[in-house]
């Protein structure tokens, strides 16, 4: 991940973004700090510290100490600009406000000792610009543990662990992939909507039917996957991916509702693409499989595995495939060079997988796509594609 900080400090300089939080104030508290190379905006270190029972301001001081200590491990003579959204701590460390709280006095004294004789500046930033450090503070509180993640200075992703050791952040990862790819990379994170009453009762639910909203379990599904998506480009299994820029959803109620929950967590905007709506099941919508088969036994038998047969009043795979293909092309083109979450349904997500694998008709029934599962595909326009994750449900 790279950040543009403009013209700051000088060569051999670093940015520390720091934040702390307390659930109860005082209550269980955590600190987060991110170290950046000031000249490139490249992330070098992420630190999360669980403190125990403390106030927000104490946690904020601990965050600064954690960040600057990491910088001086990299370069003992470094210049540092500390950025945070706590006006109180910035003014206190800049010498303009007095420090009255005993715990904060002790931490401030420790910090002054660490930075004595070094160039360290303090800058206030709005809260919305300090989300990375805030997410690390919340991680510490959620997990009640400490963590330090080191990044290379020449790569956007973390020093790779074994599962992603062969991941290429710019080009197709396989050495067997055709060379000469020139189109920009679009990272597409596909999320199926959360559960509905029809999902839970194992009834057919397509485009143009009852259009149910999420059930209470489905709302929780969406909140859970939203939290997981907040880690993309930052931590956990997804630290090697770019951060999310946008959310695109099908026009159907359950996907729109899921997308809004995700977008609120990520602080991005939701747009709608009609072509990635679920396939239409016509008069079978709302029925169980057994009920649909009983209603139209001959059509049901010929429809299974067919490219051209459609349910009464519904869509054939041939028609649907053309529609969802248009949606895929539009999304990849519109978000070229970006990372986008696409909130859709079982069949459109299988359509993305089919396109990525250059697969045949069976791609429309072989992959399992669970509610609020995560599937990740990288597209270089129409030139190349790479399936990174299929139907990940570990977060659920």
Domains along the sequence of the chain with CATH: 13-154 (3.30.420.10), 185-392 (3.40.50.1240)
Higher pLDDT residue, 154 or 115? 115
Lowest mean pLDDT among 4-18, 50-64, 161-175, 331-345: 4-18
**The length of the chain, given as a count of residues:** 396
- The pLDDT tens digits for 166-182 are 688 889 988 888 888 99
Distance CA 352, CA 329 (A): 10
Residue among 330, 340, 377, 333 nearest 355 (CA) = 377
pLDDT, position 152: 53
109: its two tokens: 């004294």
Say how many C-beta atoms besides its own lie within 10 A of residue 100's C-beta.
Answer: 8
pLDDT, position 12: 66
Does residue 159 register a pLDDT over 60? no
| Contact predicate 233/239, CB 8 Å | yes
Q: Residues with catalytic annotation?
A: 193, 278
Tokens 């869509």: give the residue. Answer: 315
191 Cβ partners below 8 Å, 6+ apart?
225, 229, 258, 262, 341, 342, 343, 344, 372, 373, 374, 375
Average pLDDT (60-83) is: 93
Does residue 3 register a pLDDT over 70? no
Question: What value does the mean pLDDT of the chain take?
Answer: 91
C-alpha dihedral, 262 to 267 to 273 to 278, nearest 10°: 0
User: What angle separates helix 131-143 from helix 56-74, to the nearest 10 degrees?
Assistant: 110
pLDDT, position 151: 80
Does residue 94 register a pLDDT over 60? yes
| Contact predicate 8/38, CB 8 Å | yes
pLDDT, position 81: 95
Does residue 6 register a pLDDT over 90? no
- The pLDDT tens digits for 291-319 are 999 999 999 999 999 999 999 999 999 99
Average pLDDT (94-117) is: 90
């Amino acid at each position: 991940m790279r950040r543009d900080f403009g013209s700051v400090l000088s060569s051999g300089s670093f940015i520390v973004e720091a934040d702390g939080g307390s659930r109860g104030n005082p209550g269980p508290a955590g600190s987060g700090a991110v170290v950046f190379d000031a000249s490139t905006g490249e992330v070098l270190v992420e630190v999360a510290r669980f403190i125990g029972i403390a106030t927000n301001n104490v946690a904020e001081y601990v965050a600064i100490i954690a960040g600057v200590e990491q910088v001086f491990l990299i370069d003992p003579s470094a210049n540092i600009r500390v950025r945070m959204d706590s006006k109180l701590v910035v003014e206190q460390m800049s010498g303009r406000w007095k420090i009255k709280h005993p715990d904060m006095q002790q931490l401030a004294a420790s910090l002054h000792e660490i930075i004595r004789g070094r160039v360290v500046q303090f800058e206030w930033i709005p809260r919305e610009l300090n989300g990375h450090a805030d997410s690390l503070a919340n991680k510490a509180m959620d997990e009640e543990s400490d963590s330090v993640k080191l990044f290379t200075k020449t790569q956007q992703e973390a020093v790779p662990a074994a599962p992603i050791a062969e991941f290429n952040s710019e080009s197709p990862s396989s050495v067997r992939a055709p060379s000469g790819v020139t189109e920009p990379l679009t990272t597409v994170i596909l999320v199926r909507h959360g559960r509905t009453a029809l999902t839970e009762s194992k009834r057919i639910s397509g485009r143009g039917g009852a259009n149910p909203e999420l059930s209470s379990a489905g709302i929780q599904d969406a909140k859970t996957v939203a939290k997981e998506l907040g880690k993309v480009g930052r931590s956990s299994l997804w630290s090697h991916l770019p951060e999310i820029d946008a959310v695109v959803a099908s026009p159907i109620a359950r996907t729109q509702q899921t997308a809004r929950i995700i977008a609120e967590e990520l602080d991005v905007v939701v747009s709608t693409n009609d072509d990635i709506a679920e396939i239409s099941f016509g008069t079978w919508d709302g029925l169980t499989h057994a009920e649909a088969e009983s209603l139209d036994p001959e059509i049901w038998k010929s429809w299974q595995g067919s490219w051209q047969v459609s349910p009464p009043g519904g869509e054939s795979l041939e028609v649907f495939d053309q529609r969802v293909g248009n949606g895929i092309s539009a999304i990849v083109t519109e978000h070229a060079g970006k990372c986008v979450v696409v909130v859709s349904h079982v069949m459109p997500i299988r359509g993305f997988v089919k396109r990525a694998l250059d697969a045949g008709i069976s791609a429309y029934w072989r992959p399992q796509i669970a509610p609020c599962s995560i599937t990740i595909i990288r597209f270089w326009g129409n030139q190349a594609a790479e399936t990174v994750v299929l139907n990940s449900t570990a977060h659920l």
